[in-house]
Chain A
Amino acid sequence: MEFPISGVTINPFYLVGIGFLVGILGGFFGVGGGFIAGPMLFWTGMPINFVVGTDLAHMTGKSIVAAKRHRALGHVDFKLGFVMVAGTVIGIEIGAQIIELLEATGSVDLVVGIAYVIILLLISGFTAWESIRALRMIRSERLDVKDVIAFEFVSRRMHSIKIWPMISFPQSGIASVSLWVVIGVGFVTGVLAGFLGVGGGFIRMPMLVYLIGVPTHVAVGTDLFEIIFSAGFGTLTHALKGNVDIIIALVMGTGAAVGAQIGAVSTRFFAGPRIRLLFSVLPLIGAIMVLIRLITDSGGV
C-alpha cells in the first residue's frame, strides 16, 4: 500500500504487526515503545523525520487504549499523573534546549548517544538487581503480597522531605509527600526525555516506583496516562512541521489497540517485582540498538 504523505510503500499488515507488538509492550510495561517501533519503521525506508513524528502519533493512540484499560483495573493515579505532567513538560523543553546548545558544539550525536547508553544500562542493571532482591525477599520471608520494593528506604527518604505544600495520593497509597518532590521527579524525567529525544516511559516508570514509592501496577498505568499528554504534545508539534504521516499511524493503531489491551490485562497475572524484572530487559535492548548505531556511524564496523 502506498502512503503518499511520507512517500513510502509499506505492507499494511507489517504496520499492524508493529502496532500489535509495541502495543503489548506498552500496555504491560507502561512505555511508549519508540525505541522498538522507530527502527522498525526506519527499516521500511521511511525518512527519519517521519519516523519520529509518526511514531509519536501512534504512541498517543496506543497510550489512550492502554491507559483506559489500566483505569478499569484501578491502575491509574490521575492526580499523580496531572501533577507530574507539569514538571515533565518543563523538563522536556529544557532537555531540548540542552540539545540545541550541544548542536552548536557539533558533538551532539556522540554526547547524546553515550549518555543514552549509560543511562539505559544503569536503569536496566539496577531494576534487574532490585527486582531479583525483592523476589528473594518474598520467597525467604514468605510474604503473601503483590508488590515489594527492596529499596523502600529511598522513597521513604523522599517522603520525609517536608517542603510545603504537602500532598497525598490515596490511589498510590501515599499519605503525604511534598508537591515539589513529585514535580521534581517529573522534571528530571522530562529533562532526560527531552535530552535523549524519547518519550521517557522507561525512565519514568522506575522513578515512580523507586523515588515516589508508587506500586508497580499503578506506576505502569500512570506512566501511560502521562504519555498521552507528552506524546500528544509531540504529535502536534511534529505535525505542524510536516513530520507526521497520520495514515500510517492510524494503520499501526489498529494493531496497537488489541496489543495494548492484552498487555494491560496481562499485568494482573504478574507480581510487581516480576514486572520490573521483565522490564529491565527493555532498556538493555534500547542501549544495544544505540550502541550498534554509534559503532556503525563511527565506521567501527
Chain B
Amino acid sequence: MEINTRHLIRNFAIEIILYGILVAIYFFLVLRALSPWLTTLYDENLTLYAFVALLLIVAQSVVLEWITAFLVERLGLERLE
C-alpha cells in the first residue's frame, strides 16, 4: 500500500511537470496568437464571438481531457485508481 502510494505520488508529479510544460507552450503559442483575433471578433461581431467562445471552451476541454487521460495511461496511474 505504501509502495503504491509512493508510486502514485511520483507518477502524479511527473504528470504535473509534463502537463505544465504543455500548458506553457499552449499559453505562448495558441492563446497569445488567438488573443488579438478574439478581441477583434468581440468588438466587431458579438454573435460570432459567442459561438466561437463556446466552441473553443468545449474543444479545449476535450483535447485537455484527452492529453491528461493519455498521460495517466502512459504513466500507469490508471492501475492505481
Instruction: Return the chain B residue nearest A237 by Cβ.
Output: B50
- As a 0/1 sequence over residues 10 to 47 of chain A, the CB contacts with chain B under 8 angstroms (1 = contact) are 00100010000000000000000000000000000000
Instruction: List 16 additional A-B contacts (Cβ < 8 Å) besides A60-B61, A257-B65.
Output: A16-B23, A60-B57, A65-B65, A65-B68, A240-B47, A240-B50, A246-B38, A247-B34, A247-B38, A250-B56, A250-B60, A251-B31, A253-B60, A253-B61, A254-B60, A261-B72
Q: How far is the CA of A261 from the CA of B68 in the complex (A)?
A: 8
Q: Is A227 an interface residue (CB 8 A)?
A: no
Contacts of B19 in A (CB 8 A): 258
Q: Is B54 an interface residue (CB 8 A)?
A: yes
**Interface of chain A, main secondary structure:** helix
Interface footprint category on B = 20 to 34
A sample of 22 inter-chain contacts (CB < 8 A) reads: A3-B35, A4-B39, A12-B27, A60-B57, A61-B61, A64-B62, A65-B64, A65-B65, A235-B53, A235-B54, A239-B46, A239-B54, A240-B47, A244-B53, A246-B52, A247-B34, A247-B35, A247-B38, A257-B64, A257-B65, A257-B68, A261-B68
Q: Are A254 and B26 in contact (CB under 8 A)?
A: yes
Q: Is A133 an interface residue (CB 8 A)?
A: no
Instruction: Return the chain B residue nearest A60 by Cβ.
Output: B57
Q: How far is the CA of A265 from the CA of B78 in the complex (A)?
A: 10
Instruction: Return the chain A residue nearest B81 by Cβ.
Output: A265
Q: Of A68, A246, A258, which contacts B57 at CB under 8 A?
A: A246
Q: How far is the CA of A249 from the CA of B16 in the complex (A)?
A: 20
Interface footprint category on A = 20 to 34
Contacts of B54 in A (CB 8 A): 57, 60, 232, 235-236, 239
Interface residues of chain B, those whose CB is within 8 Å of chain A, are 16, 19, 23, 26-27, 31, 34-35, 38-39, 42, 46-47, 49-54, 56-58, 60-62, 64-65, 67-69, 72, 81
Q: Are A258 and B38 in contact (CB under 8 A)?
A: no
Q: How far is the CA of A239 from the CA of B49 in the complex (A)?
A: 7
Query: Closest CB of chain A to B8's CB: distance in Å?
Result: 10
Q: Are A249 and B57 in contact (CB under 8 A)?
A: yes
Q: Is A69 an interface residue (CB 8 A)?
A: yes
Instruction: Return the chain B residue nearest A64 by Cβ.
Output: B61
Q: Are A239 and B53 in contact (CB under 8 A)?
A: yes
Q: Are B31 and A5 in contact (CB under 8 A)?
A: no
Q: Is A62 an interface residue (CB 8 A)?
A: yes
Q: How far is the CA of A61 from the CA of B31 in the complex (A)?
A: 16
Query: Closest CB of chain B to A3's CB: distance in Å?
Result: 8
